[in-house]
Amino acid sequence: MVKTTDSTKLPTVRHFLLKLADTQHWYLMVADPLFVDAWSRTILGNELAVLYEAILNGLAPPIPKQMQLQYADFAVWQRKIMRVEGPRYRDALAWWKALFSGRLRPVKLPFRRTKLLKEVAPTFGAIDWQIDHDLSLDLDGIAKHAGATHFVIRLALFVALVADLSHRSTVVIGTVFGNRRHLATRNIVGHFANLVPLVFSYDHRSAFRSWIDVVRDRLFETEKHAEIPYEELYDTLRATGLKPPAPRIMFTLSADHSDRQYGGLAVKRLHSPIGKMPWGCQIVIDERNPEDCRVEFNANLYDRKGMQAMIDRYVRLLEIAARQPDVTIGSLVGLSSDNALRRGLAAYRTRGGEKTALRRGS
Q: What CATH fold (topology level) applies to the domain 63-350?
A: Chloramphenicol Acetyltransferase (3.30.559)
pLDDT given for residue 273 in this prediction: 63
Burial class (CB in 10 A: 0-12, 13-18, 19+), 176: buried
User: What are the helix (H) ranges across 65-131?
Assistant: 71-81, 87-99
pLDDT given for residue 186 in this prediction: 77
pLDDT given for residue 181 in this prediction: 75
pLDDT given for residue 86 in this prediction: 87
Cα–Cα dist 165/111, whole Å:
9
pLDDT given for residue 233 in this prediction: 93
Query: Pick from 79, 95, 236, 108: which is nearest to 172 by CA?
Result: 108
CA 288 to chain CA centroid, nearest Å: 13
pTM of the model: 0.83
Cα–Cα dist 294/282, whole Å:
8
pLDDT 10s digit of each residue in the chain, 362 long? 334 446 667 777 788 889 999 888 888 877 776 777 777 777 888 888 888 888 888 888 777 767 777 888 888 888 888 888 889 999 999 999 999 988 888 898 988 876 665 655 668 899 999 999 999 999 999 999 999 999 999 999 999 999 999 999 999 999 998 777 777 777 888 877 889 999 999 999 999 999 999 999 999 999 999 989 899 999 999 999 999 999 999 999 886 655 677 777 888 777 666 667 788 899 999 887 889 999 999 988 898 999 999 999 999 999 999 999 999 999 999 999 877 666 654 543 444 443 333 333 33
pLDDT given for residue 115 in this prediction: 67
The domain spans of the chain are: 63-350
